[in-house]
Amino acid sequence: MKLNKEEKKISNERAETIQEIYASSDEIRIPTRSLSWTGLIIVALLAGLLAGFFGGYWQASMKPAYLQNKTPNDEVKKVDILTALQERDLSAKQKTTNALMDSIAQSTVTFYWKNNKDNSNLLTEKNVLAQGLVITSDGWLLTSAILANIPLKEILVITGDRQGYELEQVIKDNYTGLILAKIKAENLKTRSIINDQTARANEDFILLRNTMRLGNPETQYVNVISSNYRALGSTILDYLISTEELSSYWKLNKQISTEYGGSPIFTSDGEVAGLLIKQKEQTDLVVAGFYLKNLVTNFLNSQNKPMHNYLGLQYIDLAEIVGLPKDLQRGYNRGALIYGSTEAEAIIAEGPAARAKLQKGDIILAVNDQELNSINSLNQIIQEYPLGTTISLKVLTAAGQEKDYIIILDVQ
């Protein structure tokens, strides 16, 4: 198609106009809209408000009860509840303790001396001779007081339930030094006796004595600091031990007033663990439960006679002495060295040791293969066996030979 001159002219003008437009700008820009800083801040604030609102709603609706805010009243209620629980526990414990004390008290007695100068029958604490333990339901009692020097009619026994009885009989046990006394009674309360020679470390024992006020015994807690205590002197004869009498005691952690003399000590379970010896003033010595049980068992099995195994010799426990002459100790730090003096014969005539021909200077090393040491003494071991038992002694003779002796223990 051919253009005429006029059309060509118009076309050329349009082309020139377009070239001028492109020549006046480096690039073609597309119009846009920008967001200002003010807008951004407003959007952020709105987002924060929404987040806070929904976060608070979630916390209030989803948080566990134990995380909820507590008011002062809530804290007071919590303290009240804890206090109530503690008081309940203490109350229950106190009730249990009181019940135990009441039960223990029923197995104890008090010995009174009716020696009022004004001839009145009124008894006070000044009339108290000793405390004691009920060992049979029909009226046999055990105490550490020396009652034999007082007329029986002048002694009144008050039981834990405030009943009064006159003494019918008094027997002294020569081995322990304790006193067995009889009243005419029935259905008395007794407690079991432990068979221990050694007290458990740090164990609390209950020491109890009845008073003039019914149902109000005096009690205190004691510990045993030594299970094999003997008052030792400064000479070799002070270390002599007889197989015919008790030589060692439990030693308590404190001195006890004389009013408690003869009082039993009890375990936390209410068992009899020992008996406090009676002295003129204070005392801290206890006859261990083993010897009490041994005495009571043999007494009841021997038609009410206090009986014990009898070996018939004096000895020195090598485990408790230092500095003996070498010709006596012969290098041994344990065992029972048979020894004596003009006042105390080493071997008692016609006794089991004499019949077996044991001699002064012999060292007994073992009984029935049980070695003697600081825990197992000769005195203790021979009382562990039934009355009249045949035993074997391992002995280092004074001549230096080891020899076994077969001995039948006497009973007395």
HEC secondary structure over 203-268: CCEEEEECCCCCCCCEEEEECEEEEEECCCCCCHHHHEEECCCCCCEEEEEEEECHHHCCCEEECC
Q: What whole-number distance in Å separates Cα of residue 366 and Cα of residue 302? A: 29
Q: Which run of H or E residues covers position 128?
A: strand 128-134
Whether residue 130 is contained in a domain is answered as: no
pLDDT at position 53? 61
Q: Which run of H or E residues covers position 105?
A: helix 72-105
Whether residue 389 is contained in a domain is answered as: yes
Q: Grade residue 343 by pLDDT with cuts at 50, 70 and 90.
A: confident
- The SS3 call for residue 323 is coil
Q: Grade residue 281 by pLDDT with cuts at 50, 70 and 90.
A: confident
Whether residue 99 is contained in a domain is answered as: no
Q: Grade residue 59 by pLDDT with cuts at 50, 70 and 90.
A: low
- CA distances (Å), origin 346, targets 17, 330, 353: 153, 18, 10
Whether residue 289 is contained in a domain is answered as: no
Q: What percent of the chain has pLDDT over 70?
A: 77
Lowest model confidence (mean pLDDT) among 18-27, 41-50, 103-112, 362-371 = 18-27
Neighbours of 217 (CB within 10 A): 21
Q: What whole-number distance in Å separates Cα of residue 124 and Cα of residue 21? A: 137
Neighbours of 392 (CB within 10 A): 13
Q: What whole-number distance in Å separates Cα of residue 394 and Cα of residue 150? A: 46
Whether residue 150 is contained in a domain is answered as: no
- The SS3 call for residue 295 is helix
CA atoms within 13 A on the CB side of 259: 14
Those residues whose C-beta lies under 8 Å from the C-beta of residue 174, and which sit 6 or more positions away, are 244, 245, 306
Say which DSSP state 35 is in: P
The model's pTM is 0.76
CA atoms within 13 A on the CB side of 88: 6
Residue 262 Rama label (left phi>0; alpha psi -120 to 50; beta): left
Q: At which residue do the structure tokens 């019914």 appear?
A: 214
Q: Residues 275, 283: contact at Cβ < 8 Å? A: no
Q: Tokens representing 33?
A: 């809209």
Q: Which amino acid is at 110?
A: T
Q: What percent of the chain has pLDDT over 90?
A: 55
- Residue 58 phi/psi, 5-degree rounding, is -65, -45
Whether residue 327 is contained in a domain is answered as: yes
Instruction: Report the number of distinct structural domains present in the chain.
Output: 1
Query: In which domain, by residue range, is 365 found?
Result: 308-412
Q: What whole-number distance in Å separates Cα of residue 51 and Cα of residue 53? A: 5
Say which DSSP state 387 is in: T
Q: Is the pLDDT of residue 17 over 60?
A: no
- The SS3 call for residue 161 is coil
Average pLDDT, the chain: 85
Q: At which residue do the structure tokens 């009652």 appear?
A: 147
Q: What whole-number distance in Å separates Cα of residue 355 and Cα of residue 406? A: 10
Give which of 107, 190, 113 is closest to 147, Cα–Cα: 113
Q: What whole-number distance in Å separates Cα of residue 331 and Cα of residue 260? A: 44
Distance of CA 357 to the CA centre of its chain: 45
Q: Is the pLDDT of residue 90 over 70?
A: no
- The SS3 call for residue 46 is helix
Q: Grade residue 212 by pLDDT with cuts at 50, 70 and 90.
A: confident
Residue 221 Rama label (left phi>0; alpha psi -120 to 50; beta): beta
pLDDT at position 64? 54
Say which DSSP state 198 is in: S
Whether residue 44 is contained in a domain is answered as: no
The string of pLDDT tens digits covering residues 94-117 is 778 788 888 999 999 999 998 766
CATH number at 319 reads 2.30.42.10
Lowest model confidence (mean pLDDT) among 22-26, 202-206, 350-354, 381-385 = 22-26
Residue 304 Rama label (left phi>0; alpha psi -120 to 50; beta): left
Q: Which amino acid is at 169?
A: Q
Residue 400 Rama label (left phi>0; alpha psi -120 to 50; beta): left
